[in-house]
């Protein structure tokens, strides 16, 4: 079974530019999550999709961040315009269910650097 | 509300000696607790989970953790460190009553294994 795949693995952009991160979950996983780790801080929850619907977006930092999951398959996370404090590692995870016996499977992350 | 504190940001051990990674948590509800590991340039991998069954939990690669409610701790141990254990480890809590799989991460402990 293929794991969670994230593209790109690294992205370096200038302040004010736009970046789009992509996540392909494990096939058949309805639940998709975005987390991020800003330099020196904890990994923090951003949002949770169930299929194409946002179940919880309480962790999204501001309206410069837009997450979509059209068709309930892959997801994109767009940052527009990017700011310096957006630098960090963005993780995507997926799970088949929401119960405790449905663990999250994480991708390798996208390292975003805003200069 | 829930939170996780990993008491050591860095731990250095010699190969073949025991490893102890300390974690304390707080949660308004009965928690589920996890340890994840991240090797360089890899995603987060689940090591083990506690879900209110046995308080001593065995995971992959010889790791185990003990849930101690009275001490609100969930320390991770391994009797004999291997070079391949060099990685960053995350203690994670999820409140059972919380919807979905919204996880709260500790700050991480980076493990260095000396030959």
Please indicate whether, in this complex, the C-beta atoms of A108 and B42 are within 8 angstroms of each other: yes
Instruction: Say which CATH topology domain A5-98+106-114 has.
Output: Immunoglobulin-like (2.60.40)
Q: Which chain B residues are closer than 8 Å to A56 by Cβ?
A: 99-100, 102
Please indicate whether, in this complex, the C-beta atoms of A100 and B44 are within 8 angstroms of each other: no
Confidence of residue B96 (pLDDT cuts 50, 70, 90): low
> What pLDDT score was predicted for residue B76?
98
> What pLDDT score was predicted for residue B81?
97
Residue B100 has pLDDT above 70, yes or no: no
Going from N- to C-terminal start, the domains of chain A cover 5-98+106-114
pLDDT (tens digit per residue) in A6-37: 999 999 999 999 999 999 999 999 999 999 99
Strand pairing report for B56-58 and B44-50 = unpaired
Cβ neighbours for A44, distance < 8 A, ≥ 6 positions apart? A35, A36, A37, A38, A59, B105
Characterize A65-96 residue by residue with b for buried, 16 or more Cβ atoms within 10 angstroms of its Cβ, and e for exposed: bebebeeeebbebebeebeeebbbbbbbbbbe
Q: Per the structure block, which two tokens stand in for A39?
A: 């330099």
Please indicate whether, in this complex, the C-beta atoms of A56 and B46 are within 8 angstroms of each other: no
Going from N- to C-terminal start, the domains of chain B cover 2-114
Phi-psi region of A58 (alpha: psi -120 to 50; beta: other; left: phi over 0): alpha
The residue among B48, B112, B61 whose CA lies nearest residue B86 is: B112
Instruction: Say which CATH topology domain B2-114 has.
Output: Immunoglobulin-like (2.60.40)
pLDDT (tens digit per residue) in B15-68: 999 999 999 998 877 788 999 999 988 889 999 998 877 889 999 999 999 999
Q: Which chain B residues are closer than 8 Å to A39 by Cβ?
A: none
pLDDT (tens digit per residue) in B56-66: 999 999 999 99
Q: How many residues does chain B have?
A: 115
> What pLDDT score was predicted for residue A1?
64
> What pLDDT score was predicted for residue A2?
78
- Measured in whole angstroms, the distance separating CA B43 from the mean position of its chain's CA atoms is 15
Interface residue B109 vs chain A (CB under 8 A)? no
> What pLDDT score was predicted for residue B62?
95
How far off is chain B from A108, nearest CA to CA, in Å? 4
How far off is chain B from A91, nearest CA to CA, in Å? 8
Nearest Cβ partner for A95 among B34, B101, B105: B101
Nearest Cβ partner for A43 among B90, B96, B102: B90
> What pLDDT score was predicted for residue B31?
82
Q: Per the structure block, which two tokens stand in for A92?
A: 């995507």
| CA dist., res. A44 & res. A48, Å (int) | 12
Q: Per the structure block, which two tokens stand in for B13?
A: 């051990």
């Amino acid at each position: 079974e293929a794991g969670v795949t994230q593209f790109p693995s690294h992205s370096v952009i200038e302040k004010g530019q736009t970046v789009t991160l992509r996540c392909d979950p494990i096939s058949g996983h309805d639940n998709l999550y975005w987390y991020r780790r800003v330099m020196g801080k904890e990994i923090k929850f951003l949002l949770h999709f169930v299929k194409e619907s946002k179940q919880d977006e309480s962790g999204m930092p501001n309206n410069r961040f837009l997450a979509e999951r059209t068709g309930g398959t892959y997801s994109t996370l767009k940052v527009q315009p990017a700011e310096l404090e957006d630098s960090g590692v963005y993780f995507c995870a997926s799970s088949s269910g929401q119960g405790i016996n449905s663990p999250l499977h994480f991708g390798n992350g996208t390292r975003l650097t805003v200069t | 509300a829930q939170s996780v504190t990993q008491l050591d940001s860095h731990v250095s051990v010699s190969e073949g000696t025991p490893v102890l990674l300390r974690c304390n948590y707080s949660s308004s509800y009965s928690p589920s607790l996890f340890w994840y590991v991240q090797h360089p340039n890899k995603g987060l991998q689940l090591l083990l989970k506690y879900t209110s069954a046995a308080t001593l939990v065995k995971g992959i690669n010889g790791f185990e953790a003990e849930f101690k409610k009275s001490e609100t701790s969930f320390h991770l141990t391994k009797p004999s460190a291997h070079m391949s254990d060099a990685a960053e480890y995350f203690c994670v809590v999820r409140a059972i009553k919380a919807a979905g799989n919204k996880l709260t991460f500790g700050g991480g402990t980076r493990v260095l294994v000396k030959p």
